[in-house]
Chain A
Amino acid sequence: MIGEFEYLILTAASRLGDNAYGASIRTEIENATGRACSVGALYTTLDRLEAKGFVTTRMGEPTPERGGRSKRLVRLTSSGAKVASDFFRAVSRISQGASWVTNRSTR
């Protein structure tokens, strides 16, 4: 089972496809959650996901808008897609009947 932040990264990487790298993943996560995503948390979690075989990363070409620096491109692996899908299903199942899902009063 993966954690919430790991799920967010895997999902963002899946949505972004070939354009998945540090800055774009951060933007996706910040737009989705409304919270700041630190570079430190992102890169240490990416390392963990790569060690588990859920993503692969490689350095891209340097670009001028990055001051001539390269991107660390992220690609979701099939096992990464599977654990993210498992996480989503588990969250969906456990959320059924919850007040914030059915719009019932919490009283």
Chain B
Amino acid sequence: MSAAELARLQFAATTGIHWLFVILTMGLVPLVAFMHTRAAYTRDPAKKAVRERMTRFWGQLYVINYAVGIVTGLVMEFQFGLSWSGLSKFAGNVFGAPLALETLIAFFAESTFLGMWIFGWGRLRRGVHVTLIWLVALTAYASAYWILIANGFMQHPVGYEVRGGVAYLTDFGALLTNEMSLTALGHIVLAALTTGGLFVAGVSCFHFLRGTKETELFRSSLRLGTWVAMLASFFVVVVGELQRPIIERTQPMKNAVLENSGVAEVQRRLVEQFGPGDYVPPQGWIHLSMNVMTLLGNTISTITFVAVFLLWKDRLVRWRPMAWLMVAVIPFAFLASVAGWVVREVGRQPWIVYGHLTVEDALSHVSRASLIVSCTVFITIFVGLAVTNWTLITRFAVRGPDATQLGVTEPLPEGLPEQPTGGADDKQPVPAF
């Protein structure tokens, strides 16, 4: 493999894996925040206890996933400088701003507040504690916004002018309202909610299939998850279709490949426009990915639509094949969304900044040997982390609410599940204010 190919592999693999964590984080955090709010403001002590345990159970799965999401993000932040210094030379004036603002506005708040939320059980006042998780949710979405502003600029540059081979920012407003970014954001938010909803619904179904005692907790979770997944997966399809006309206007080649017609014609036009070169991205990948995404999208929509009706009188969990199906669809959303990114990112090849800078020209002067080492190191670590993450999530999801460690003041005795008390946090209310 050439240096460029190695750098692309490294970038694609690390972002792709980062994305697999991020999408679940973004999907779960609003649900956890909602559960926490409901628990905090319930009067009836029995119900409150159940809802609190529900929050801690899903909260813990979210926090496990978040841990790995952050560490992969750390690597992402350095990738542009490491492998694509041509990108910062050409577009640094424009492209750097959203990334800087992302770290200052979103990540700082997200990490600080999440740390406080994790360790705030029984230490912070109820209102403050609930506000923290909402702030975490808000900042997670803010970070998605800023990263998509950066990504949207690469897909469809706006608000800049080129002087002497370098891009300068001329219209910040245009950059922030790039339609290529905003529709993608809409699609991504809905994709994340679909993922979160399916995850909650599927895990709940699994506990019913195993005959859980926690029926109230999981019934309530199942309802929430199914409704969220149904609504979000309906609209993810709608917004997905809305992206097509934008692609048609801004990226004729991607459009031709997706339509599977006129590729040769567009190639000829692009040669006229940008000089000789091969402007056709790998078509097979794009077709495959687009088909996977739409097929899975429609499948998820249909299944969750039916599932919502079956919620009535618990038919969904009493009819075992359907319950197993809900467990089986959990991975679908992850697959669909990775496929979606392949369409978006591979489809814009050979450009790194559409129409201005090709991937080859953006590569840093890094030796092949270094790239082979770093590629191997990162991919090994990331795959290892992904496997660890999903093993842990599965383990804690399967063990159920009794094994939750989040929010308990004393560590659970090794191997023994905690006594089903009403949540550790109402025992010692010592607010720090």
A binds B: no
Give B residues with C-beta under 8 Å from A: none
Give A residues with C-beta under 8 Å from B: none
